[in-house]
Amino acid sequence: MSDPIPTSKDVVAWLNGRFEERGLPYRLEHIAVLPYMNPMWMANWDVPQLADAPEREAIEEELREARWKFPQVIEEW
């Protein structure tokens, strides 16, 4: 049996933990998930909540790592 597909809650929990470790003041409530799985295996989610955050470099570093770890997720709320 293969591993279950991660959910949006998994990504939010993981990113919030990473932001806390870095001392960043941001905590996510949700992420935007596309309604389909991307056939190119590019991430099917985004974090518009952080678009205007000033710590862009640190945030982008964490988002890149999260997209590698969770390229495809399903919505779960």
Q: Does residue 75 lie within any of the structural domains?
A: no
Q: Does residue 26 lie within any of the structural domains?
A: yes
Q: Considering its fold, how many domains does the chain have in total?
A: 1
Q: Does residue 52 lie within any of the structural domains?
A: yes
Domain range enclosing 41: 8-69
pLDDT digits (tens, 9 = 90+) for 38-71: 677 688 999 999 989 999 999 999 999 999 999 9
Q: Does residue 1 lie within any of the structural domains?
A: no
Instruction: Tell me the whole-structure pTM to 2 decimals.
Output: 0.87
CA nearest neighbour of 8 among 36, 32, 26: 32
Q: Does residue 76 lie within any of the structural domains?
A: no
Q: Does residue 58 lie within any of the structural domains?
A: yes
Going by the DSSP 8-state scheme, the letter that residue 40 receives in this structure is T
Q: Does residue 36 lie within any of the structural domains?
A: yes
Q: Does residue 21 lie within any of the structural domains?
A: yes
Instruction: Look at residue 2 and give its three-state secondary structure.
Output: coil
